[in-house]
Amino acid sequence: MDVYIAAVTAYFVAFALFHGWLLVMAAVETRRHASRLQAANLQQTIRSPLTPPISVLVPAYNEELGITDSVRSLLALEYPRFEIVVVSDGSSDATIERLVDAFELERVRRPTPPFLEHEPIRAVYAPRGRLNLLVLEKDNGGKADALNAAINFARYPLICAIDADSVLEQDALVKAAMPFVDDPVRTVATGGLVKVANGCRVERGRVVETGLPRTALPMFQVVEYLRAFFGARTGWSAVNGLLLVSGAFGLFRKEAVIAAGGYSTKTVGEDMELVVRLHRSRRDQGRAGRVVYVPDPVCWTEAPESTRVLRRQRRRWQRGSAEVLIAHLRMLGNPRYGTVGMLAMPALLLFELLGPVVELSGYAVALLALLSGTIEAEVFLLFLAVSVLCGLTLSFGAIAIEDASFGRYPGWNQLGRIMLFAVLENAGYRQLGLLWRLEGFWQLVRRGEWGAMERTGLGGSEPEAILGDGVGLR
């Protein structure tokens, strides 16, 4: 038993060292990025004739309550040239009627471009005026299918996939597009910072007052998001090993997405699957490709407030990442795929997929060893201390990076609350999360649903997966 405890401790240390290295990479990258983000730089990007126009794709399923505010807020984004393509994915409510009334849309005939397959289009609507808006009504096929339809109709070379219930800050598109302006040949995708909107005041599709959630569950998720975005994602981006651009807000080169075959409808982790496939297809074609995380453009999204929804979300994420790993197993440890094959995929397997198994079994074995007298209480407590300190170090590292570069949590009260919850999550929340992820993995194994498609429709207010975020040993 003590051998197993020693092995799990070694795993904790390896985890902490690996993610500590990612944090260092993230710190360097964030500092570099923050130094470039001056207002005048953004203005130059906006005015440059080479700034590529963007098609913003909004898949929507039964979003009648918020869709018009979302579209209005998107139309007010600060960007030189863009269009909005809304796809109602077989909505059974009045999503289409609301849009038609609010934006004076009329039904038009448009040929369906043949680039990506999707469920049939029922109707296309365009405004009578000069608004850059196109609305598609199609049969239900899930979020990935709706996005594929939107890509087909998108006019511009960059596509921005967002959730209908996400709220973008006004300059989010400009900031997310900057890597495409900087390196238009190699950049294939960029992802932006997703923040928890719970506790913020949102009016007519805009965040008018920011704040922290008032309840514990979303507060824990604020800490997780910080760790995910300011720790792992920025670090992975610095070494071009980023495996996930959040489905809530991601910018892609349309031509690369079409060449890779679009979003997969056969996985619940379609956002991660697309990014991995982009890496794979670019490498297979012998072309360089960069997937960049930009730690500044903010997309606000609502985090689950109930354990039931959170549990479902975490199980789905775990299943999604397992499906992606299985679908692209060839890349694992394959030097042909560079950092992604040699580092990011093995880390996904070791720390994200096996993390819950190793950590939970470590706790169980240590407890059994303590009860059976195989180890002393001192060893047991030290083992727990290692586990807790690993998580705390990574959380506080991410908090330090965020505070030093952007400082979006003003006042000692907000900073103090975040630090407090970074400590408190170790007393149950973290372990619960591990259990849910283990359940997700088990669901996949038990049902034999490798690669099976789940048509859940869209809707809900769940943010997309935070994978590769070092959450395994939080």
Give me the residues that bind other proteins (CB under 8 A), please.
2, 5-6, 9, 13, 16, 20, 31, 35-36, 38-44, 48-50, 108-111, 113-115, 181-185, 376, 378-379, 382-383, 385-386, 389-390, 392-393, 396-397, 399-400, 403-404, 407, 412, 415, 419
Cβ at position 227, least distance to other proteins in Å = 13
Cβ at position 347, least distance to other proteins in Å = 20
Give the residue with the Cβ less far from other proteins, 335 or 411: 411
Give one DSSP letter per residue of 149-199, joined into a string.
HHHHH--SSEEEEE-TT-EE-TTHHHHHHHHHHH-TTTEEEEEEEEEE-TT
Give the residue with the Cβ less far from other proteins, 400 or 445: 400
Cβ at position 184, least distance to other proteins in Å = 6
Cβ at position 448, least distance to other proteins in Å = 39
Cβ at position 53, least distance to other proteins in Å = 12
Cβ at position 114, least distance to other proteins in Å = 6
Cβ at position 9, least distance to other proteins in Å = 7
Give the residue with the Cβ less far from other proteins, 35 or 92: 35
Give the residue with the Cβ less far from other proteins, 185 or 452: 185
Cβ at position 216, least distance to other proteins in Å = 22
Cβ at position 183, least distance to other proteins in Å = 6
Are residues 149 and 106 in contact, defined by beta-carbon separation less than 8 angstroms?
Answer: no
Are residues 53 and 156 in contact, defined by beta-carbon separation less than 8 angstroms?
Answer: yes
Give the residue with the Cβ less far from other proteins, 414 or 443: 414
What distances in angstroms separate CA 401 from CA 121, 229, 430, 440, 470, one per listed residue? 46, 10, 22, 31, 15
Give the residue with the Cβ less far from other proteins, 411 or 448: 411
Cα angle for residues 213, 217, 219 (degrees, 5° grid): 40
Long-range pairs for 36-43 at CB < 8 Å and ≥24 separation?
36/178, 37/175, 37/296, 41/178, 42/171, 42/174, 42/175
Give the residue with the Cβ less far from other proteins, 94 or 123: 123
Give the residue with the Cβ less far from other proteins, 215 or 413: 413
Give the residue with the Cβ less far from other proteins, 65 or 389: 389
Cβ at position 404, least distance to other proteins in Å = 6
Give the integer Cα–Cα distance in Å for 150 and 87: 6
**Exposed e or buried b for every residue in 367-397, given b needs 16+ CB within 10 A?**
eebbeeeebeeebbeebeebbbebbbebbbb
Cα angle for residues 196, 352, 349 (degrees, 5° grid): 145
Which class for 214: exposed (0-12), middle (13-18), buried (19 or more C-beta within 10 A)?
exposed
Give the integer Cα–Cα distance in Å for 266 and 453: 4
Distance of CA 390 to the CA centre of its chain: 23
Cβ at position 191, least distance to other proteins in Å = 18
Give the integer Cα–Cα distance in Å for 124 and 153: 10
Look-up: residue for tokens 């199980």? 315
Q: Is residue 354 helix, strand or coil?
A: coil
Q: Is residue 472 helix, strand or coil?
A: coil
What distances in angstroms separate CA 440 from CA 322, 365, 382, one per listed residue? 9, 22, 30
Give the residue with the Cβ less far from other proteins, 60 or 174: 174
Give the integer Cα–Cα distance in Å for 327 and 315: 18
Give the residue with the Cβ less far from other proteins, 350 or 415: 415
